[in-house]
Homo-oligomer: A and B are copies of this chain.
Amino acid sequence: MTDENTRHTEKMKKIKAARDRMMETKTEEKGLIVVHTGPGKGKSSSGFGMIMRCIAHEMPCAVVQFIKGNWMTGERQFLTERFADECKFIVSGEGFTWETQDRERDIKAAQAGWEQAKEVILDPTIQFVLLDEINIALRNDYLDIDEVVGFLQEHKPFMTHVVLTGRNAKEELIEAADLVTEMGNVKHPFRDGIKAQKGVEF
């Protein structure tokens, strides 16, 4: 063994001991309120990566898709065609707000989506719920932030995870959440004339 390797082994032993001690204090489990926000990529795709994990672990799960309703994304096709039993997929809204151009219709769609979201969150057989792009509906005041946060705090079953995605998450939601990630945009190819591409963006 080289000297460098010996030093590395010693250092890693210390890191492992410190980490083991730290992990021993992390013993609790609870259903989390998770928020993915920020202008960068990965808010929805990370939610769908977690849905993949749930299906693998046989944890029944659900997606309520706000805003992107009329768009047959890869994730929607994948889950509705192949995993309808494992993952309930609810579509609310008929597209981006600049596509529908009808605020009253958008509000109705968002509120109908929220009614269904409450049902799947309350469903005792469902352990993980992804509310995709709900932050857009909240930012546009299609849904009342106090109602959404109040419901999560008072009625979410203790072990159910709820993930809420979309940029511009409201402060009240961030306050109430257990786990919040801000996806920051360091570099984006749209700036160079590259369009949204299969596999990467949808």
Listed in ascending order, the chain A residues whose CB lies under 8 Å from chain B are 1-2, 4-5, 8-9, 12-13, 15-16, 19, 23, 25-30, 32, 34-36, 38, 40-57, 59, 61, 73-75, 77-78, 97-104, 127-128, 161, 174, 177-190, 192-200, 202
Contacting pair B5 A104 (CB below 8 A): yes
A36, chain B: closest CB distance, angstroms: 6
Give 11 CB contacts A-B under 8 Å: A2-B104, A26-B194, A26-B196, A27-B195, A36-B42, A40-B182, A44-B49, A45-B47, A52-B52, A178-B189, A182-B186
Contacting pair A200 B103 (CB below 8 A): no
Q: Interface SS of chain A: helix, strand, loop or mixed?
A: mixed
Q: Give the oligomeric copy count.
A: 2
Name the CB-closest residue of B to A13.
B101
A103 and B1 alpha carbons, distance in the complex (Å): 10
